[in-house]
């Protein structure tokens, strides 16, 4: 699933700005790696980013991709979601949003909700720590996986 063009442009602009501000060198390789995350709505893990980038840059090493992803995270350009660490997924959507996670295939898709943004948490949370943001993760079975499990009934077209 591809991100919207407007979002991709906004993300690339933010990337350029962050590199300039931090004084980091804006290399072609870094740009390609960020673009790989920025252009997708799939929340890829490092492995998937590596494969995507390698299609356009066959010489890129896995190590470079991993290091660059964590560097991008330090710059605040991407966030990570969910343990465990070796399967960390990266997200270039920095707007307030929530996730639908398919428990079968791992599809992670963004959705938006003003209501969930304003979710009231139980007081017990305060005894654990100070809350900064709330992000809801909905788990379920995506339509694709559901269709595989129960082959859709064949509807005959009328007329």
32 vs 42, beta carbon nearer Zn ion: 42
Q: Which of 78, 67, 80 is nearest to 27 (CA)?
A: 67
7 vs 110, beta carbon nearer Zn ion: 110
Q: Which residues in the 112-151 window bind Zn ion by CB under 5 A?
A: 142, 145
CA 57 to CA 53: how far, in whole Å?
Answer: 6
Question: Is the distance from CB of 81 to CB of 109 less than 8 angstroms?
Answer: no
93 binds Zn ion (CB under 5 A): yes
Beta strands in 16-115 (DSSP E): 79-81, 89-91, 98-102, 108-111
3 binds Zn ion (CB under 5 A): no
- Min dist. Cβ of residue 84 to Zn ion (A): 18
Binding stretches for Zn ion (CB under 5 A): 91, 93, 102, 104-105, 107, 110, 142, 145
């Amino acid at each position: 699933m591809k991100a919207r063009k407007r979002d991709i442009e906004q993300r690339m602009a933010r990337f350029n700005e962050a590199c300039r501000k931090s004084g980091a060198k804006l290399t072609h390789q870094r740009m390609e790696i960020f673009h790989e995350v920025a252009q997708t709505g799939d929340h890829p893990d490092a492995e998937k980013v590596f494969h995507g980038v390698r299609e356009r840059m066959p010489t890129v090493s896995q190590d470079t991709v991993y290091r660059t992803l964590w560097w991008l995270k330090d710059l605040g350009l991407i966030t990570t979601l969910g343990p465990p660490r070796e399967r960390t997924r990266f997200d270039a959507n920095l707007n307030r949003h929530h996730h639908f996670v398919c428990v079968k295939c791992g599809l992670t898709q963004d959705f938006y909700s003003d209501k969930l943004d304003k979710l009231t948490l139980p007081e017990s949370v305060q005894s654990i720590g100070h809350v900064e943001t709330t992000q809801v993760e909905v788990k379920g079975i995506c339509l694709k996986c559901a269709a595989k499990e129960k082959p859709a009934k064949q509807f005959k077209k009328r007329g």
